[in-house]
Amino acid sequence: MMLPTHVLAGMLLAAPLVRAAPELAPVGFAAGFLGGLLPDLDMYTGHRRTLHYPVYYSVLAMPAALAALLSPSAVTVGVAFLLLGAALHSVADMYGGGLELRPWEGNSDRAVYDHHRERWIPPRRGVRYDGAVEDLALSVGLSVPLLVLVDPPLRAVVIGTLAIAVVYTALRRRLAEIAAAVIPLLPSAFDPYLPERYR
């Protein structure tokens, strides 16, 4: 799934706060957004491995969620939704496409790395690839309730994220072709810095 879908899903995790603890809801939405973003900061260094922890984020999220329930504060709620967002992202990547330059071809057996079992989890392709039309449908579906639930500063974040999702979906295949055309022209000194899927 593309990054906009992950950050919107992370935000929506905090929806129950609107009723349960409205004063903490903005913190929860922001933390869920950042949690959904965090794993993909490894985009250019060991993607879906360095910062993707489908097992460990989930395990850590449980005591963090319990702490937020027992002693709700900006800190406990922030930490809990950061971990929940990162856990959901890492697990959700299993249901997308594999790690390859053109994931719609379906040649990769690597979706996300499981550090616990020390092996790659194969892609299940519920969403065929990041930026597929069903991925955009997910982003739209997640943003509808968010637009009702969040207040103005965060509402602009949701709308901006959705705009990025639309542009990315429209350009997704062309971006891969541009990368395929440009990479062979780069001097070999760049090799160590290129993601494995680009070689």
Site for Zn ion in 142-181 (CB under 5 A): none
130 binds Zn ion (CB under 5 A): no
Min dist. Cβ of residue 193 to Zn ion (A): 20
Q: For residues 184 and 86, give the distance between their C-alpha atoms in angstroms, rounded to a whole number.
A: 34
Closest CB to Zn ion among residues 47, 150: 47
Contact 97, 107 (CB under 8 A): no
- Tokens of residue 192, six digits: 């160590």
With 0-12 / 13-18 / 19 or more C-beta atoms within 10 angstroms meaning exposed / middle / buried, residue 133 is exposed
Residue with the two structure tokens 């990162």: 86
Closest CB to Zn ion among residues 1, 149: 1
Tell me the site size for Zn ion, rule CB under 5 A: 3
Closest CB to Zn ion among residues 29, 113: 113
Q: Which residue in 135, 117, 121 sits closest to 172, CA to CA?
A: 135
100 binds Zn ion (CB under 5 A): no
- Exposure on the CB side of residue 176, measured as CA atoms within 13 A: 15
93 binds Zn ion (CB under 5 A): yes
Number of helices (H), then strands (E), in the chain: 7, 2
Stretch that binds Zn ion, among 90-98, 126-134, 136-144, 169-177 (CB under 5 A): 90-98
32, 33, 40, 111: which one binds Zn ion (CB under 5 A): 40
- Tokens of residue 182, six digits: 């440009």
Stretch that binds Zn ion, among 34-42, 129-137, 159-167, 174-182 (CB under 5 A): 34-42
Min dist. Cβ of residue 89 to Zn ion (A): 6
Contact 129, 79 (CB under 8 A): no
Closest CB to Zn ion among residues 24, 112: 112
DSSP secondary structure code for residue 14 in this structure: T
DSSP secondary structure code for residue 45 in this structure: S
Closest CB to Zn ion among residues 1, 17: 1
Min dist. Cβ of residue 134 to Zn ion (A): 17
Contact residues for Zn ion (CB under 5 A)?
39-40, 93
